[in-house]
Amino acid sequence: MDFKLNDEQRMLEETVGRLVRDGYPFDAREKARTSELGYSTQMWQQFAELGLLGVPFAEDFGGFNGGGPELMVVAEGFGRGLVLEPYLATVVLSGTLIDALGNDAQKESLISAIVGGELRLALAAYEPEGRYDHTHVATQAEKQGDSYVISGRKAVVLHGDSADKLVVIARTGGETRGREGLSAFVVDADASGVSRRGYETIDGLRAAEIHFDNASGELLGEEGGAADALEASLALGIVALCAEAAGAMEVACDQTLAYIKERQQFGVAIGKFQALQHRMVEMRMELEKARSMTILAACSLDAAPQVRAKRLAAAKAIIGKSGRKVAEEAIQLHGGMGMMEETAVSHYAKRIVMIDHQLGDLGYHMQMLESLLDVDEDAA
C-alpha cells in the first residue's frame, strides 16, 4: 500500500500545476470564459505542447499511456484553476472511446489529431428523456451503403457547441433502454442533418442540445457492441470529475480560510469565532473525504467489474454530497462577498455544484450503490 505519486506522476502534477498558476489567473480565466468560444485556443495548444492531450493514449500516438492515477493528477490540477478547455469532452470521454473501439485507421487519424491539439470532440450520449441513464438511447442509426444515418436528440452535450466532430451513441438494435444494440459513431459537427443549439452553462462552461436528422456517421467498432467501452470511458470521466471537484474544493477551502483570517468584524478576524471555526473544520473534513474517494476511484479502474462499479458510484456520490457542503459553506463564510461574480470563490462553488449534474448525481449514484450493496469487497 502506497499513496505516493511516482516520479512521472509527480512531473505531470508539476507541469499542470505550473500551467494553472502561470496561465490561469482569475482575470485571464474571466476573459476566456466571456469570449465567444468560452475558452482559449492558445491554452489548448499549450496543453498539446506539454503532452497533456495524450495522457490516456498509447505512446504510438504521442501519448503518455496513463491510467486512472495520471488522469487524476491532471484533472485535480485543472480543478484548482477551474480550467475551461474541453479536456473532459475531447480527451477523456470521446478520445478514450475512439481508442477503445476504433480501427487502426480511425485511431491513427483521430487520436493523433487529438494529441496534436488539432481536433476537439464532444460525446453525444445522454438524451432529453434519459437524465443520467446512458443506456436510455432513442437515437437511431441505420445502415445505408458504407455508412450510417443517424436521427435523434442529444441533451446537454458538454462542449458540443464548438466540437469539430461528435462521438454519437445511437441505437442499432434493442429497446430504448438497455445495453444491447448501442453503437458509437463519429459525426462531423457541421455535417448536413446536424443542428446545434449552443449555450453557456451556469458554471461558465459551454454545452449544446444537438438534433440529428439523417446525419451521416462513421461506425466505431462492432455494430451494437459499444456498451462496455462506453461504460469504461464514463468511468474515466467519473475519475476526472471527482479529481476536478477535489481540486476545486481544495481551493474553495483555502480561499475561505484566508478570508476568515482576514475579514474583521466586532474588532477581530471572524475566524476567531468558534461557530465559524467549526464550519471551516467541517469543510476540511469533506475535502479529505473527497480526496480519499478520488484516489479510490482512480485506483479501481482495473478492479473486478462489480467492485469497480461500486467504488465509482460511492466516489461520485461522496463528491456530490461533500461538494455541495463545501460549495455552500464557502459562500456562507464569505458572506455577501461570496454572492459576488467578481469573487473567485463563487465560480468555484458553481463548478463544484454543477459537477454533481454531470455523469450522474448523488441520487443516481446512491441508487447504483444500493443495487450493489451485496458486493463484498475490501478496499485494501
Rule CB under 8 A: choose which of 38, 69, 181, 338 binds other proteins: 69
Q: Which residue has the cell 448501442?
A: 182
By CB under 8 A, tell whether 155 contacts other proteins. no
State the number of binding residues for other proteins (CB under 8 A). Answer: 42
Residue with Cβ nearer other proteins (100 or 299): 299
Residue pair 214/291 in contact by the 8 Å Cβ criterion: no
Task: Give the Cβ contact number of residue 4 at 10 Å.
Answer: 6
By CB under 8 A, tell whether 296 contacts other proteins. yes
Interface residues for other proteins in 165-184 (CB under 8 A)?
A: none
Rule CB under 8 A: choose which of 89, 125, 189, 318 binds other proteins: 318
CB 253 → other proteins: shortest distance, Å?
A: 9
Residue with Cβ nearer other proteins (192 or 277): 277
CB 351 → other proteins: shortest distance, Å?
A: 21
By CB under 8 A, tell whether 333 contacts other proteins. no
* β-strand pairing of 121-124 with 165-171: parallel
Residue with Cβ nearer other proteins (115 or 245): 245
Interface residues for other proteins in 248-287 (CB under 8 A)?
A: 257, 260-261, 271-272, 274, 277-278, 280-282, 284-285
By CB under 8 A, tell whether 1 contacts other proteins. yes
Rule CB under 8 A: choose which of 53, 83, 243, 298 binds other proteins: 298
From residue 309, how far is each of 220, 343, 371 by CA, in Å?
24, 37, 10
Residue with Cβ nearer other proteins (56 or 117): 56
Nearest of 132, 158, 205 to residue 352 by alpha carbon? 205
Residue pair 205/222 in contact by the 8 Å Cβ criterion: no
**The three three-digit cell numbers of residue 280, written as one number:** 471551516
Separation between Cα atoms, residue 37 and residue 34, nearest integer Å: 8
* β-strand pairing of 264-265 with 268-269: antiparallel
Q: Which residues of 98-132 are buried (b: 16+ CB within 10 A; e: fewer)?
A: bbbbbeeebbeebbbbbbebebbbbbbbbbeebeb
**The three three-digit cell numbers of residue 60, written as one number:** 504510438
By CB under 8 A, tell whether 10 contacts other proteins. no
Enumerate binding residues for other proteins (CB under 8 A).
Answer: 1-6, 9, 69, 257, 260-261, 271-272, 274, 277-278, 280-282, 284-285, 288-289, 291-293, 295-296, 298-300, 311, 314, 317-318, 366, 369-370, 373-374, 379-380
